[in-house]
Amino acid sequence: MITRDHIHSITLLKRDLHAASTIKNLGLARYFLGIELARSSHGIILNQRKYIHDILSDAGITGAKPAKFPLPKGLHLLAETGELMTDPGQFRRLIGRLLYLTLTRPDISYSVQHLSQYLEQPRQPHYLAAMHVLRYLKGTINKGLFYPRNNNLKLRAFCDADWGTCKDSVRSLTGFCVFLGSLLVSWKTKKQKTVAKSSAKAEYRSMSATTSELEWLSHLLEDFCLDPQLPIVLHCDNKAAMHIAANPVFHKRTKHLRTDCHYTRDKVMEGFL
C-alpha cells in the first residue's frame, strides 16, 4: 500500500517499483489485511465487517441474539474459578482474533484485555464471556473508525484508571485515548505493573503512561514536518492527580510515585502538557 498527499509522487514511485520488479496496480485500496476502507467526499471509514463475520461463522453463532454491551454488567472473572476447558486452544485462537479486531474497534479494548489474562488456563466462564463479546460484535458489525477529510492537527488526550479492578492481583487498569483533532489515533487498556495504594496513585500512573504516548506522537508529528501545537491538553478526572502534576509542594507526600510524578510534572513545567 502506498500513501502520500501528492499524486505525482505516488505515480513516480510506482513507476520506479515497476521498473525494478513488475507490479500490478490495484487502484484505490478497498480491503487490506482484513480492514475495509470506504471512501466518500467527507473522509474514510475503516471497519472489519467481513473479519467479524468470519469470526462469528467459525464460532457458530451467526444466528445468536445480539448483546448491547461488550461484557455483562457486574461480571467478575477469576483465574481459578470454573471448569477448565478441554480445548484451551479454541479460547486462545479466539482471543488472538479479537486482539487484531481492536485495530478498528477500540470499544472492545477493555474486554479483550480482560479476557487475555486467562490464556494460560482458560475456563468455561472465560469462554462464555468471550462469546458475549462476539454477540456484542454481531449487533455492532458496521461500527468502525471515521477519519474526516478536513481536520485540525492538535493533539488532546483522555486518561483514566480503574483502581484495584483485578480480582486476582488487585492491580489497577490504565486506560487512555488520544485524538488528533477529531481523529482517534491511539488507545490502550493495560494492567498496571504494581499495586497502587490509592486511587490518586493509580490515576497518576495512568497520566504518566498517557504522557509517554503523547510525547512519542508529538515526535512522530515533527518527523512528518508538522507542528504538534503545544501545550497538549490532557483530560483527567482525578483532582488529586491533577494537583500533584501542577504543584511541587506535594513532593514529600508523593515520594512513592517516584519517576511517574516527576516525569509528568516536568512535562507540565516545560509547557509540553
Task: Write out the H or E segment, with its range, that includes residue 190.
Answer: strand 183-191
Entry field: residues in the chain: 273
Interval 213-233 mean pLDDT: 91
Question: For the chain, what is the domain count?
Answer: 3
- Domain extent at residue 10: 1-28
**pTM for this predicted structure:** 0.79
CB within 8 A of 38, min separation 6: which ones? Answer: 30, 44, 45, 47
Q: H-helix or E-strand containing 134?
A: helix 124-139
| Residues forming a β-bridge with 123 | 84
The confidence score (pLDDT) of residue 190 equals 87
Question: Do 193 and 264 lie in a common domain?
Answer: yes
- In sequence order, which residues have a C-beta less than 8 Å from that of residue 128 and are 6 or more positions away? none
Amino acid at 231: P
User: Of residues 248 and 19, which shows the higher confidence score?
Assistant: 19
> 57 - beta bridge partners?
none
Confidence of residue 244 (pLDDT cuts 50, 70, 90): confident
- Domain assignment present for 93: yes
Domain shared by 158 and 237, yes or no:
yes
Cis? peptide before 231, omega within 30° of 0: yes
Q: With 60 as the cut, is the pLDDT of residue 253 above it? A: no
Per DSSP, the three-state class of 254 is: helix
Residues 207, 182 share a domain: yes
At 248, which CATH number? 3.30.420.10
Does residue 40 lie in a domain region?
no
Burial category of 204 from C-beta neighbours within 10 Å (exposed 0-12, middle 13-18, buried 19 and up): buried
Same domain, 160 and 122: no
Whether residues 157 and 264 fall in one domain: yes
C-alpha 204/C-alpha 197 separation (Å) is 12
Average pLDDT of the residues of the chain: 87
How confident is the model over 181-207, as a mean pLDDT? Answer: 85
Taking only the tens place, the pLDDT of each residue in 92-146 is 999 999 999 999 999 999 899 889 989 999 999 999 999 999 999 999 999 999 9
Q: Which three cell numbers stand for residue 122?
A: 482458560
Higher model confidence: residue 225 or residue 178? 178
* Of the candidates 126, 198, 129, the residue with the CA atom closest to the CA atom of residue 163: 198
Decide: 206 and 161 in contact? Cβ < 8 Å: yes
Are both 170 and 199 inside the same structural domain? Answer: yes
157 & 180 share domain: yes
Same domain, 128 and 169: no
